[in-house]
Amino acid sequence: MAKKSEEGITAKKEENFSEWFTQILQRCELTDIRYNIKGFLVHRPWAVLTMEKMYKFFEETLQKKAHNPCWFPTLIPEENLEKESSHIGGFTPSVFWVTKGGKTNFQKKIALRPTSETAFYQMFALWIRSHNDLPFKIYQRANIFRYETKATRPLLRDREFYWIEAHCVHATEKDAFNQVQEDMQTTKEVMHDIFGLPFIFFERPSWDKFPGASRTFAADALNPDGKLVQQPSTHMISQKFSKAFDVKFKDKNGKEKYAYITCYGPAISRIFASVIITHGDDKGLRFPWEIAPLQVTIIPIDKKLNKKAEELKNQIKKFATVKIDYSDKRPGEKFNHWEMKGVPVRIDLGLKDSQKKKLTIFRRDLNKKEIISEKDTTKTIQKISKEFTKNLIKQADKVFEGRIKGTKNLKEIKSAIKQGTIAQCGFCSVEKDGEKCAEVIEKHVGAEVRGTKLDEKNKNSGKCVICRKKANHIVYIAKSY
């Protein structure tokens, strides 16, 4: 039997976030890093059951917004990647290359997809002919491969991760920007309103755009240690791509034009990391009701109550996933186990309560027990199911309170970052000429300029914190994974 210290979470989330996160992954049986290729992670059933539900919500939302699913090959010819120079330049250092099949050496290398623009757009050129074909909106769920040279961190920075990528073709630049705004709304509808994750959308500075994009927008979620995790990003792809892949259409007047393309990438495995981080506490996991791998667990304290447990299970399974814990563990161990695993509702059946036609319900959103009448069980759990995620969202939305700090110089930026907050400041430019100031911040603070908020982009805000020239933008600075 495992030692007591190995059965639960012993690290405190606010005191030692790194160790807490490691313990959660291991002791809640979410992942295993012992697969013998560095950076490649085994996702265990408790994690996959959740991520499958997360995929479902994203895919249903995309399909409601006229995206159609497709599947593309995992392998991409090198010549495809080479067609757009900034794209290949941005991804070459992180590409896994396939150079041999069986005993045959390939004349040309083939890439394991680091992303799929060059695969999709080759086909767009064959499929799209007229303005009547637009907008053309498709997506795929897939795994992608990037040879991360930084230290890997399970779920946060792996060399293989699981995501959805949506690629859309539009007739005008305005249509493309509208799609980007729709993608941002999709992120809110799914990631915040269902998964309960607060975030801030930033437009990335020009030096931190997606390779080959003309504009990049990304959602950043905040960790307790003050670091940001990039979540779904959406991009207006440069027309260099349309020209390189010959993605054209004929307008209403029969005139041939190059299309405008957008792409959107919710990384499910990374979003799952933020679910763990945002909602988890010192007892372990907490899952929003909609994506919990198991929603209700029933614990009969005595074997005489097994029949009652089965009766309750049959009632509850009509509207929730439910399991009875018949293990040989002591009741206290069972309680701690399911709290650690993040099951939203636990029903405790005791002999004394049962004689009074009562039972105990424990809800993980409030960490609170309540004794109720047996006849009210179904009604109570249905009520909790409607409240549960709302409570987690209310708690999670407080994560950014007091975590953005205005700064006026490098010293104040250092202090803000050290305190685990996001530094807000005036900045000369988010175009190429501002990159030198960003490099000064990265060198002396170890943090990055994450970008601007759309509604603040054109506000005059005094002088740049670094070069002291006129500040044309308000930017946000933080450390990230």
Per-residue pLDDT of the chain (481 residues; tens, 9 = 90+): 334 435 799 999 999 999 999 999 999 999 999 999 999 999 999 999 999 999 999 999 999 999 999 999 999 999 998 887 676 677 778 899 999 999 999 999 999 999 999 999 999 999 999 999 999 999 999 999 999 877 678 999 999 999 999 999 999 999 999 999 999 999 999 999 999 999 999 999 999 999 889 999 999 999 888 899 999 999 999 999 999 999 999 999 999 999 999 999 999 999 999 999 999 999 999 999 999 999 999 999 999 999 999 999 999 999 999 999 999 999 999 999 999 999 999 999 999 999 999 999 999 999 999 999 999 999 999 999 999 999 999 999 998 999 999 999 999 999 999 999 999 999 999 999 999 999 999 999 999 999 999 877 556 668 999 999 999 999 999 999 8
Q: Is residue 441 part of a domain?
A: yes
Sign of CA dihedral 474, 479, 39, 28: negative
What confidence score (pLDDT) does residue 419 get?
94
Domain boundary among the residues 382, 413, 438 is at 382
Same domain assignment for residues 440 and 307:
no
The two structure tokens encoding residue 146: 């990037």
Is 445 part of a structural domain of the chain?
yes
- Whether 288 is in a domain gets the answer no
Look-up of token digits 């012992």:
34
Q: Are residues 346 and 200 in the same domain?
A: no
**Does any domain span residue 371?**
yes
* End position of a domain, from candidates 214, 244, 279: 279
Residues 175 and 269 in one domain: yes
Domain contains 396: no
Q: Please check whether residues 372 and 265 belong to one and the same domain.
A: no
User: Does 251 lie in the same domain as 307?
Assistant: no
User: Is residue 316 in a domain?
Assistant: yes
Domain match, 243 and 377 both: no
Q: Give pTM, 2 decimals.
A: 0.95
Residues 377 and 432 in one domain: no
pLDDT (tens digit, 9 = 90+) per residue, 428-460? 999 999 999 999 999 999 999 999 998 775 566
* End-of-domain residue from the set 319, 352, 382: 382
Residue 149: left (phi > 0), alpha (psi -120 to 50), or beta? alpha
Same domain (yes/no): 346, 263: no
| Domain interval for residue 239 | 4-279
Same domain, 118 and 243: yes
| pLDDT for position 2 | 38
Q: Is residue 392 part of a domain?
A: no
Residues 204 and 335 in one domain: no
Q: What is the CATH number of the domain that holds 457?
A: 3.30.110.30
Tell me if 278 sits within 8 A of 198, measured CB to CB.
yes
CA separation, residue 72 to residues 110, 117, 123, 161 (Å): 15, 11, 10, 16
Same domain, 376 and 233: no
Please indicate, yes or no, whether residues 221 and 316 belong to a single structural domain of this protein.
no
Number of domains in the chain: 3
Instruction: Kindly state whether residue 284 falls inside one of the protein's structural domains.
Output: no
Q: What pLDDT shows up at residue 1?
A: 35
Domain at 136, CATH number:
3.30.930.10
Determine the pLDDT at residue 459.
Answer: 66
Residue 341 belongs to domain with CATH number: 3.40.50.800
